[in-house]
Structure 1
C-alpha cells in the first residue's frame, strides 16, 4: 500500500513541476488564462501524473516480457491520455489534430523508450563489469 501511495505522489509531484514550468512560460510570455482554464489543465496534469505513477507497476511484473510490458503500457497510456486530452482541451476533437497528436505521442513514447533502453543497457554493462572484477 505504501508503494502505491508513493508512486501516486511521485506522479502528482511531476505533474506539479511540469505545470509550474508551463505557468512560468505563460507568465514570461504574458499569456492570460482564467482560473477555470488553469484548474482544468492542472486537473488533467494530476490525472496523467497519477496514471504514470501507477503504470510503472507494469514494469515490476517479472513474469511478463519487456515487449508485453511496453505494449500494455503504451495501449493503456493511449486509453488514458486521449479521452482526458479531448475532455480537457489539449487536443481539439477534429481528425487532423487527433492524428498529429497521435504521431507526436508515439514519437515521444519512442524517445522515452530509447532513453530507458540506453540507460538499462548502460546499467547492465556496469553490473557485468563489476561481476568480472
Structure 2
C-alpha cells in the first residue's frame, strides 16, 4: 500500500508538471496569447490522471504470482483501456475510425518500444547481479 501511495503521488506530480510544461510551450510558441481556462483544466486533469495510471500500473510487474506474459497482458489492457477512455473523453483523439486506428498503432508501437527497453535493461541488470554473485 505504501508503494501504491508513493507511486500515486509521483504520477500525479509528474502529470501536473507535464501539463504545465505543455501549456507554457503552447503559450510561448503557439499563436495564442490567452488560453481557455476550461480547456486547461480538462487537459491538466487528464494529464494528471494519465500520469497516475502510468506510474501505478507497473505494479503488476512486481507481483511474483504472475508470469511475465500475464503481467504484460494485464498492464497493457489496463493502460490501453484507461488511456483511450481518457483520450476520447477529453478529445486528445477524435472519435472517428481513422484517428482511432492511428492512435492504436502509435500506442502499440510506443508500448513495444518501452516494454522492450525496460525488459532489456532489467535483464542486463540481472545478468550483472548474477555475475557479481558468482564472484563471491
Establish whether TM, by shorter chain, passes 0.5: yes
Give the 3-state SS of the residue equivalent to 1:91 in structure 2: coil
Structure-1 residue corresponding to 2:90: 88
Q: How does 1:110-129 map to 2 (within 5 A)?
A: 110-129=112-131
Structure-2 residue corresponding to 1:17: 17
Question: Is residue 2 from structure 1 mapped to residue 20 from structure 2 by the alignment?
Answer: no
Structure-2 residue corresponding to 1:132: 134
Query: TM-score, length-normalised on structure 2?
Result: 0.90
Question: Is residue 57 from structure 1 mapped to residue 56 from structure 2 by the alignment?
Answer: no
Runs of 4+ in 1 over 6 A off after TM superposition: none
Query: TM-score, length-normalised on structure 1?
Result: 0.92
- In structure 2, relative to structure 1, the CA distance for the partners of 1:74 and 1:31 (3 Å cut) is farther
For residues 15-57 of structure 1, the C-alpha deviation after alignment (integer angstroms, 9 at most, x for no partner) is 1232233123213313433111111011111111221232122
Structure-2 residue corresponding to 1:34: 36
Indicate the RMSD between aligned Cα atoms, in angstroms: 1.4
Contiguous gaps of at least 5 residues in structure 2? none
The alignment of Structure 1 onto Structure 2 pairs a total of residues equal to: 133
- Give the stretch that moved more between structures: 53-62 or 112-121: 53-62
Give the 3-state SS of the residue equivalent to 1:64 in structure 2: coil
Give the 3-state SS of the residue equivalent to 2:64 in structure 1: coil
- In structure 2, relative to structure 1, the CA distance for the partners of 1:125 and 1:5 (3 Å cut) is same
Contiguous gaps of at least 5 residues in structure 1? none
CA–CA separation in structure 2 for the residues paired with 1:127 and 1:112: 22
